[in-house]
Amino acid sequence: MNRSVPVSVQTSAGSNGASGILAKYSGELWLITVAHVAVTERPIHSNWTEWPKDLAVMTDKGKILIPMIRETPEPKPGFAHVKDESGHVIDIIAFAVDEAILEYVDVEVFELEDWQAEVGDRVAVCGYPTAVDNWPDPEKQIDASIIGYNPGGAIHFAPLASHGFSGGPMISKHGELLGMVVGSNGHGTALMSQAIRMVIDSALSRRKPLPNGA
Residues whose CB falls within 8 Å of the CB of residue 192, separated by 6 or more in sequence, listed in order: 153, 154, 155, 178, 179
Q: What is the pLDDT, as a whole number, of residue 45?
A: 95
Distance CA 7, CA 133 (A): 16
The predicted model scores a pTM of: 0.94
Residues whose CB falls within 8 Å of the CB of residue 96, separated by 6 or more in sequence, listed in order: 28, 29, 30, 80
Domains contained in the chain, CATH given: 5-109 (2.40.10), 111-197 (2.40.10.10)
Provide the 10 A C-beta neighbour count for residue 86: 6
Q: What is the pLDDT, as a whole number, of residue 209?
A: 56
How do residues 58-74 score in pLDDT, each as one tens digit? 999 999 999 999 988 88
Distance CA 211, CA 214 (A): 5
Answer whether the bond into residue 43 is a cis peptide, omega within 30°.
Answer: yes
Give pLDDT < 50 ranges for the chain: 210, 212-214
Q: What is the pLDDT, as a whole number, of residue 206?
A: 83
Q: What is the pLDDT, as a whole number, of residue 170?
A: 98
